[in-house]
Amino acid sequence: MINNETCDNHREVNTLDQMLIIENTLKKYQFLWDKEPIDYYPNLPSNTLGFIGELQNYSSEELIELENLNAKAKTPLLSELFKDLKDSLLRINQLKQEARINQNELRGLSLKKCHEIKRLIPILEELSPTLIHDIGSGKAPLSFLMAQRNLEMQFKCYDLDKTLQTSAIKKNQNNMALKRINFIHQTISSKSQLDLKDRELLFGLHACGDLSIDLIKILIKEGNDLFNIPCCFHKQTKQNLSGHQSLKLNKFALTLANRGQINITPKALSIRNEYKTYRYALQMIYFNKYQKLIMSLGNAHKSWYQLSFHDYVKKYDQDLFYLDNLNKSFYALKKTINDYLLIEVIRNPIGRLLEHYLLLDRVLYLEKNNFKVELIELFNNELSPKNIALKATKSI
């Protein structure tokens, strides 16, 4: 049983039922997440015409509020969609307690990292393990700060990147905490044997893709406690751990799951529209001439979007893909492009539901293996969007 509840009736729902609620909503709106909208060109994804018609009546400020799930929709189709979402999304408890840390000790760390560390320390101190196995620790800033505050605690910091570890050791040569931090250069997989003892915590902050799943497998094999904040869902190759996930998420859905908690701001919206407008225009003009989409455009430098459309295309291909009148064709397509851009406003909240679906699969799998599991919204999503922690403790 997970401590989340459905929206209005405040009753506890077991994890499997909750997973089915999410699954039904995902099935209803599959046309929004199982492909990129532009891949339907010259058509729009089926069933989206009504949504686009409604979205055209909202100001860009209102669209931002809708996308961030902060406002009520005032038109019928959107009201139904956002109600479905609200009723299906997990209600995840937030933890906002922060450790007080001297600013000097945080020198050199990004705002994001400082925020994560301040939120993590209280909860890890409350768990008070004797040793933390910090998996995918990188330069291990969290372990260093914890070690300075908790003079009894030991740390094993694992990472496949030796240079990060060497640089952390060099930087902390005179730091007494280093004595209790053991850097281990190792690629962790589900088969790794970590020799976990009682009261030792398996931990992974932003353990990418499969690594978070491997931590769960290691926990089931040999551990008691896990605290994990997963990230990079688009890199995960393993799904349906529980045997109850009947929808297999493809690469588009996993990428969308990754965007679920991103808070959109006016600036982020304008950058997103700038990027997508050029990419979509090129795809459309190419399709109109060759009746197929360009397979993969690859990465563009942000400065390319400041060029004229003609010069932007030139950056990809000196021969401009043998397309003519690019600037003129681009302006003729702007209204059509806008329809595709509007769909993003409703796709991103679906990403949040996809993320919850993937997390519930892990929760269910752990529960089937006799762990008590809790999901916690730990970070402010404006600072650190991959902000949901999974805490698992072996039931006695």
Ligand X SMILES: C[S@@+](CC[C@H](N)C(=O)[O-])C[C@H]1O[C@@H](n2cnc3c(N)ncnc32)[C@H](O)[C@@H]1O
Distance between start and end Cα atoms, the chain: 15
Smallest gap from residue 223 Cβ to ligand X (A)? 16
CB of 137 to ligand X, least distance (A): 5
Q: Which of 379, 112, 369, 373 is nearest to 229 (CA)?
A: 379
Checking DSSP bridges between strand 181-185 and strand 225-231, what pairing results, if any?
Answer: unpaired
Q: Which is nearer to ligand X, 73 or 168 (CB)?
A: 168
CB atoms within 10 A of CB 261: 19
Report the interface residues with ligand X, using CB under 6 A. Answer: 136-138, 158-161, 164, 187-188, 205-206, 208, 211
Nearer to ligand X, 71 or 232 (CB): 232
By beta-carbon proximity to ligand X, the closer residue of 206 and 394 is 206
From CA 336, how far away is CA 288, in angstroms rounded? 13
The closest alpha carbon to 32, from 336, 343, 373, belongs to 343
| Alpha-carbon gap, residue 307 to 312, rounded angstroms | 6
By DSSP bridging, strand 200-208 and strand 225-231 are parallel
SS3 165: helix
Q: Between 309-316 and 326-368, two packed helices, what is the crossing angle to 10 degrees? A: 60
Q: How far is the CB of 384 from ligand X (least distance, A)?
A: 9
| Nearest distance, CB of residue 210 and ligand X, angstroms | 8
CB closer to ligand X out of 187 and 308: 187
Alpha carbons 205 and 120: distance in angstroms, whole number:
9
Distance in angstroms (rounded) separating the CA atoms of residues 137 and 378: 18
Exposed, middle or buried: residue 334 (CB in 10 Å: 0-12, 13-18, 19+)?
exposed
> Is 115 or 347 the residue whose CB approaches ligand X more closely?
115
- Report in angstroms how near the CB of residue 214 gets to ligand X at its nearest: 7
Closest residue to bound ligand X by CB: 136
Distance, in Å, from the CA atom of 137 to the CA atom of 330, rounded to the nearest integer, reads 46
Residue 362 phi, psi (nearest 5): -70, -40
The tokens for 201 are 């915590």
Write down the least CB distance from residue 63 to ligand X, Å.
Answer: 31
- Which residue has tokens 């729902």? 13
Minimal distance, residue 289 CB to ligand X, in Å: 41
d(CA 28, CA 362): 23
Whether cis (ω within 30° of 0) applies to the bond prior to 129 is no
Smallest separation (angstroms) from ligand X to the CB of 101: 16
Q: Least CB distance from residue 317 to ligand X, whole Å?
A: 34
Our CB check for ligand X shows the closer of 20 and 109 to be 109
Task: List the one residue out of 381, 288, 342, 307 whose CA is nearest residue 94.
Answer: 381
